[in-house]
Amino acid sequence: MAIDKNNRNALTRYYSGKFGDQFVLKVTRSGNSMLTKYADRSGVVLSVTQKARNRLFREAVAYAKALIADPVRRKELLLRLSKNKKTRTQSAYNAAIRQYMKENSPKVKLKKIAKILQNYLDTFTVSERQLEAVSYMLNDELMTNALYQEINKVSKPTATRDLKEMVGKGIIQATGRGAGAKYSLIPLPGEVGE
């Protein structure tokens, strides 16, 4: 890694980026230029947590782009940012990403799920297995009979019986029939749009 601390070199002074797949020219926060080896990430295997964080960031970027594209929402955000000394110089795009990440952080999501789960417990009489299925579906996932069997380590007849009971109680709704049936949660009153 080579660093040009004076940044006098005409080649590196105003430029940054990669040169083929060999070198990367970076400008540090202090304004220095740095030449580094190109990082080969082709063999990197991401963990489940890293994939979830990447997905969350992709969603945040999409949210920020949509917000910036809407002139009314953008103006409201810029007005809100200008009222606070700490956020006056922040761009609307970065503020939107930060807002989305904060509102959808794993901690906040877990708190919301715990609250909704408690509401289901207060409203319905469910077994531990059924509660496990509700918890799974609260993460915006669809349930199948095979998945219910896998999560709860039960037989197919037990899974079928439990799922039918949940449909009968109005906890979940079925889409499709037979082995291809998929189940989703029916939102409790007052929790739609949360």
pLDDT tens, the chain, 194 aa long: 555 566 566 666 666 778 778 888 887 777 777 888 888 888 888 887 788 888 889 999 999 999 999 999 999 998 988 898 888 888 889 999 998 998 888 777 778 888 888 888 888 998 999 988 988 888 767 899 999 999 899 999 999 999 999 999 999 999 988 888 999 988 887 665 44
Q: Are 24 and 38 in contact (CB under 8 A)?
A: yes
Instruction: Say how many residues make up the chain.
Output: 194
* pLDDT score recorded for residue 3: 59
Residue type, 86: K
* pLDDT score recorded for residue 1: 54
* pLDDT score recorded for residue 193: 47
Under DSSP, is residue 183 helix (H, G, I), strand (E, B) or coil? strand
- Of 56, 6, 58, 57, residue with least CA distance to 34: 6
* pLDDT score recorded for residue 51: 84
* pLDDT score recorded for residue 140: 66
Q: CA angle 118-113-100, nearest 5°?
A: 150
* pLDDT score recorded for residue 153: 93
Domain ranges of the chain: 2-37, 48-104, 107-185
Token reading at 38: 């190109």
Q: What is the pTM of this model?
A: 0.48
Distance CA 149, CA 81 (A): 50
CATH architecture of 107-185: Orthogonal Bundle (1.10)
Q: Are 68 and 94 in contact (CB under 8 A)?
A: no
* pLDDT score recorded for residue 35: 80
β-sheet bridge partners, residue 24: 18, 36
Q: Are 166 and 172 in contact (CB under 8 A)?
A: yes
Distances (CA, A) of 171 to 97, 113, 133, 165, 186: 34, 15, 11, 9, 6
Distance CA 38, CA 35 (A): 9
